[in-house]
Amino acid sequence: MDETVGRRERKKAATREALHRAALRLAAEQGPDRVTVEAIADAADVSRRTFSNYFANKEEALFHPDTVRIRRLLALVHAQPLDEPPWVVLTRAAEQLARESDGFDPLWLAQRRLIRNHPSLAAHQITAYGTVEQEFTAEIARRLPDDPETPLRARVLAGTFLHALRAATRYWTDHQERPLVEVVRAALGYLTAR
């Protein structure tokens, strides 16, 4: 039974990855506005219905790895001890994720560079990051004292942390002279430098 479940999960992961790569390749070639869900499904050799079982729209397919990484980051933060300062916890989790993510496929990076500033994708990115920022805010708040300032402090920490990570990752995408973990460490360190 476990082997069947494992095989099924691997097949689902492979299909999800194939859909993401097809969406990214087509968006890089044609521009995100011209890409349709049908074209993505055809390029990944699956049905439109299969596409819908994995993603609600083409934007979700395009940003799938980002969603996976941010979920992983949230899990890493959640797993940290509650008695440590929030910024220490956030930094440690970010560095661990950066070490895990430091070997991106060069083709994937090139395609991402082509579409990252496309105006039609901005709304999806803002919505996705807004949702995750709320989750990080809640995670940080549970680590802070019960105090009237805690909601604001947690929100500022979450927003600052996520913005610094986005800036570091974007910078690293164009300047890969040093490992991602070093860039992330430097970016987060700037926020605590006196």
* Residue 83, amino acid: D
Phi and psi, residue 166, nearest 5°: -60, -45
Mean pLDDT across the stretch 145-152?
A: 94
Tell me the C-alpha distance between 148 and 194, whole Å. 26
Sign of torsion over alpha carbons 138, 89, 112, 15: negative
pLDDT tens-digit series, residues 16-71: 999 999 998 999 899 889 999 999 999 999 999 999 999 999 999 988 888 888 99
pLDDT tens-digit series, residues 8-29: 899 999 999 999 999 989 998 9
Quote the tokens at residue 51. 């596409």
Write down the number of H helices and E strands in the chain.
Answer: 10, 0
- The tokens 């995100």 sit on which residue? 32
- CB atoms under 10 Å from CB of 24, counted, come to 25
User: What angle (nearest 5°) sits at the alpha carbon of residue 105, between those of residues 100 and 109?
Assistant: 105
pLDDT tens-digit series, residues 160-178: 999 999 899 889 888 888 9
